[in-house]
Each structure stands twice: as structure tokens, then as C-alpha cells.
Amino acid sequence: MEAILDTNFILHCLMKGIDFLSELREMGFVPVVPREVLQELKDLRSKDKVSHKERTAISLALEMLSSKEVKKIKLGEKSVDEGLIKKGREGVHIATLDREIKAKVPNKIVIRSAKKRLEVERD
């Protein structure tokens, strides 16, 4: 079972100290990162408004996700969000914190901040 990762999910996990790749694997998911998300991370890293802490998290994310163990896909839609919503409607689990995406996909993986753990939500 695959879980496609969104940019905000990845960065939030790293900023909160959550080892999302290990947790997803323990939950039975294969982490999948869209190439468009990798590009978003690279673009974010070069922006002036990004804090040092965020830039560090972005660099760590790019390093972690470059592993051959993390499957990469191309969404092929106009925007990353549209691609995630399309995949989510096809039944793939989407790891996101984005309210719009969460409202439009039935299977999502979210962070329970109080527990600093990942949790699966199904509509």
C-alpha cells in the first residue's frame, strides 16, 4: 500500500522530529514522493523568506528522499495539489496537512501533534 507524501507533511514531520519514513513503513505503507514535491523543496530552499530551521529541514528532506528506497513518481498535473487529489480519489493514501486536499481525498495520513505520531484517517 502506497502513501504519497506532500511537501508540508514532510517538512512538518522533520520540524517536529517525527521519523515519518520509518513510521509509514511500520504502518505497512511504501513511502512515495512525487518529483514535483522534490522540485517544490528545492525551490523553497532557495527562497529568502525561509528560516534557517526550515532550510535545514528542507536539506534533510532532500537527502532522505534521494534514497533509492523511496519510490519516486511523476504526478503530471498542473499543480501538485491537483495531482495529489487525483491520486487520492483513485484510492491511494495521501500524507498531507493541507485542508483542501484532506477534504477531497478519502484516505489520508495526518500527524497527531499531541502524540507526535502519524495516524490514518478514512472518510
pLDDT (0 to 100) of residue 33: 97
Query: Among 67, 79, 93, 96, which Cα is nearest to 40's?
Result: 79
Backbone angles phi, psi at 55, to 5 degrees: -60, -40
- Crossing angle of helices 35-45 and 80-89, in 10° steps, is 150
Q: List, for residues 20-57, the tens digit of each pLDDT value.
A: 999 999 999 999 999 999 999 999 988 888 888 999 99
Task: Return the C-alpha cell found at 60.
Answer: 534533510
CATH number of the domain residue 97 falls in: 3.40.50.1010
List Cβ<8 Å contacts ≥24 apart for 83-92.
83/34, 83/36, 84/4, 84/6, 84/34, 87/4, 88/4, 92/2, 92/3, 92/4
Res 114 pLDDT > 80? no
- Whole-prediction pTM: 0.90
pLDDT (0 to 100) of residue 113: 63
Domain count, the chain: 1
Q: List, for residues 73-113, the tens digit of each pLDDT value.
A: 999 888 999 999 999 999 999 999 999 999 999 998 887 76
Is residue 117 within a helix (H) or strand (E), and if so which, with residue range?
strand 117-122
Provide the domain limits for residue 40.
2-122
